Amino acid sequence: MRTLPFYFGRILLALIFTSVLLFSTLFSSYGQLFNAKGRDFFFRLRHSLAEKPSEANAITFIDLDDETLSHLKKRWPYPRSLYAEALRRMMPLSPKAVGFDLIFSGNDFTPESDLEFSQALKEAGNVVIATHSMQGDDVAPLPLIHESAWRIGIVDKPRDRDYLLRRALLVFPQNNETKRSWELEIFTKAFPNADLSHFPLKKAVPINYKLQFKEFRHISFWKVLEGTFSPDEIRNKIILIGLTAEVFHDIHATPLRSMPGLAVNANTLLMLIRRDFFTFAPLWVTVVLGFFFFWLVLLIVDSSSILIGIVIVAAVSFLLLIGSFLLFTAEVILDPWLIIVGTILTFIGSAIMRQTQLLLENLKLQEESSKDPLTGFYNRRFLTLKLKSEFNRLVSKQGLFKAQGDISVVMIDLDNFKLVNDSFGHAEGDRVLSVMAQAIRSSVRKSELVCRFGGDEFCVILPSTTIADAVKFAEKIRSIIAHHPDLSYRTKDGISTIQVTGSIGVASVSGAKVMEHGMLMKAADRALYRAKAGGRNQVCVFDPSRDVIT
């Protein structure tokens, strides 16, 4: 039956594990990265299940791709007059906004090319040029280009510890002024009446990746120059122009695998158009879920089998995973990953501790069940097993290059014990056994095993002990018993004395040449019988010529 301290103990452990979870979520960069990688899995899973959002049809890529490099056969970087020509081709179709994911810093090959591009930008009136923000210093377009464009915007994205692009800043506070991102400027131009009050402008937000690069609408740049494209691909669309050729190496790792920077920016812009910004579930939800899961696992381990525990842990973890994914599809982030891993580790650790505890308890029970409760010595069954084990060990040592060994057995039988038992009662007989047991215990080493063979008969196994040393040991025990003050009695008439003494028989494997544990016990018993018959209170050694083993 579970007690109140038991439940309080489990609650305390669950609180400790929850504190570790909270620390990993808030302060550990490794814990945060682990959660981020879990979200990557959700991104890929959602992408495989969801349909392409209709808002993506509002975006068209004009790619500076490998096909364009091959077709134009011009030296890179291209003269800016080509971009001016592209703008003049598109402007009659009234695109909502045009974004160049190109910096245009420094002068072109000829001043005329810069002037031509500048004039095209002014005529278009809806072009946003990219700029880089490098620790507060912008890598910006040529002033002439900057002044002619509608706006410039920052395209930088913070990288996580594993170099993936997962977040975007919509505004960049710099030197007492606020600069806006390239995507936000394009969105503002394309949707001039949009309300930005609910946009997350104060901190980096997770990019809500919806599409891979190839899933957007694409036109090669050379086709725009030659006018070989469908007008519907440009009309009233948001046009994004940038580098996508492999030679430019503008490829970045993202939750939806690698894609050009232009596609990363397009996913950010698509998030602005859809206004499907991620929000994080309140921290207390993670704390409550973590505490509940840890507490549940601790109770399961203590009340169920390992197999049932595995099934329950797998089931609740799967339910948490499904629930978190459903929230993710609704743009709510509840990271279940540290909770699930913590739950599994808690289950494994608790199960190991529980099984270890059960093993120790079983070993303790086995130890107790193999001992005599009165004397604390091992019982006869354990004696047989131990002696057999010692024989096996001795046999394994024998051989051409292995040392010979000895096993000696000492059998002890108390003289006059029955007389004490009959004269003074069983309680006094038990005391005699306890006193004698204490005397023997104080004389043996850890390697020497004492067993109660039955009644007032005891047996001592002496591993690696010669017959001569066994006789010395037996004589020491005999002397201790014979001279023990607590083992001497006077009869009721006060005339006679009763002295408890010990008759002892000794046998050894080497001495008796008996290579079987049962025969060794019989040999020691025959020597004991001779000690009894010869006047008691003496030590006799097994003699094959005098002691017959049947």
List, for residues 288-303, the tens digit of each pLDDT value.
999 999 999 988 887 7
The sign of the dihedral angle between the CA atoms of 246, 252, 258, 262 is negative
> How far apart are the C-alpha atoms of 547 and 524, rounded to whole Å?
10
User: Could you tell me if residue 531 is left (phi over 0), alpha (psi between -120 and 50 degrees) or otherwise beta?
Assistant: alpha
Report if residue 322 sits inside a domain. yes
One-letter identity of residue 288: V
Answer whether residue 328 shows pLDDT above 50.
Answer: yes
Report if residue 507 sits inside a domain. yes
One-letter identity of residue 63: D
Answer whether residue 327 shows pLDDT above 50.
Answer: yes
Helix (H) or strand (E) holding 166: none
Answer whether residue 397 shows pLDDT above 60.
Answer: no
Distance of CA 471 to the CA centre of its chain: 59
Distance of CA 210 to the CA centre of its chain: 31
Within 10 A of 517 (CB to CB), how many other CB atoms are there?
23
Strand partners, 462: 408
Q: What is the pLDDT of residues 131-189, one digit of tens each?
A: 998 555 678 899 999 999 999 999 999 999 999 999 999 998 877 778 999 999 999 99
Q: Which two tokens stand for residue 404?
A: 């010979």
Report the share of the chain in percent with pLDDT over 70. 92
The pLDDT of residue 137 is 62
Map residue 134 onto helix, strand or coil.
strand
Answer whether residue 467 shows pLDDT above 80.
Answer: yes
| 348-361: average pLDDT | 82
Name the band, by pLDDT with cuts 50, 70 and 90, for residue 403.
Answer: very low
Domain's final residue, options 325, 340, 367: 367
Report if residue 46 sits inside a domain. no
Q: Is the pTM of this model over 0.85?
A: no
Asked if 95 and 237 touch (Cβ cutoff 8 Å), the reply is: yes
Rg of the Cα trace of the chain?
A: 45
Q: Do 219 and 359 reside in the same domain of the chain?
A: no
| 25-37: average pLDDT | 93
Q: Which residues of 190-220 are buried (b: 16+ CB within 10 A; e: fewer)?
A: bbeeeeeeebeeeeebbbbbbbebeebebbb
Q: Do 359 and 396 reside in the same domain of the chain?
A: no
> How far apart are the C-alpha atoms of 408 and 279, rounded to whole Å?
79
Answer whether residue 245 shows pLDDT above 60.
Answer: yes
Q: Do 218 and 167 reside in the same domain of the chain?
A: yes
Strand partners, 238: 59, 97
The pLDDT of residue 427 is 87
Q: Which two tokens stand for residue 66?
A: 């490998």
Map residue 411 onto helix, strand or coil.
strand
Q: Do 143 and 224 reside in the same domain of the chain?
A: yes
Report if residue 154 sits inside a domain. yes
Q: Do 244 and 174 reside in the same domain of the chain?
A: yes
Q: Which two tokens stand for residue 342?
A: 């913590």
Report if residue 31 sits inside a domain. no
| 331-341: average pLDDT | 96
| 222-231: average pLDDT | 94
Q: Determine the straight-line distance between the first and last CA of the chain, rounded to whole angstroms.
A: 55
The pLDDT of residue 365 is 60
Q: Average pLDDT of the chain?
A: 88
User: Could you tell me if residue 384 is left (phi over 0), alpha (psi between -120 and 50 degrees) or otherwise beta?
Assistant: alpha
The pLDDT of residue 136 is 54
Domain of residue 244: give its range: 53-277
Pairing of strands 332-333, 205-206: unpaired
Report the share of the chain in percent with pLDDT over 90. 58
Q: Do 256 and 321 reside in the same domain of the chain?
A: no
Q: Do 261 and 291 reside in the same domain of the chain?
A: no
Q: What is the pLDDT of residues 501-522, one digit of tens each?
A: 999 999 988 644 545 677 888 8
Q: Do 425 and 444 reside in the same domain of the chain?
A: yes
Report if residue 45 sits inside a domain. no
**CB under 8 Å to 108, separation ≥6 — which residues?**
79, 80, 81, 114, 117
Hunting for tokens 């091959």 — which residue is that? 70
Q: Do 440 and 532 reside in the same domain of the chain?
A: yes
Q: Do 428 and 391 reside in the same domain of the chain?
A: yes
**CA 199 → CA 145, 189, 203, 238, 274, distances in Å?**
29, 16, 10, 20, 11
Q: Do 348 and 201 reside in the same domain of the chain?
A: no
Q: Do 348 and 483 reside in the same domain of the chain?
A: no
> How far apart are the C-alpha atoms of 268 and 254, rounded to whole Å?
12
Report if residue 190 sits inside a domain. yes
Map residue 543 onto helix, strand or coil.
coil
Cis check for the bond before 95: say yes or no (omega within 30 of 0).
no
More confident: 549 or 126: 126
| 214-239: average pLDDT | 96
The pLDDT of residue 417 is 86
Answer whether residue 400 shows pLDDT above 50.
Answer: no
Answer whether residue 68 shows pLDDT above 90.
Answer: yes
> How far apart are the C-alpha atoms of 412 and 22, rounded to whole Å?
66
Domain's final residue, options 307, 341, 367: 367
Report if residue 374 sits inside a domain. no
SS3 for 484-504, per residue? Answer: CHHHEEECCCCCCEEECEEEE
Asked if 529 and 507 touch (Cβ cutoff 8 Å), the reply is: no
- In the chain, the number of structural domains is 3
Strand partners, 498: 489
> How far apart are the C-alpha atoms of 271 and 187, rounded to whole Å?
10
Domain's final residue, options 340, 367, 394: 367
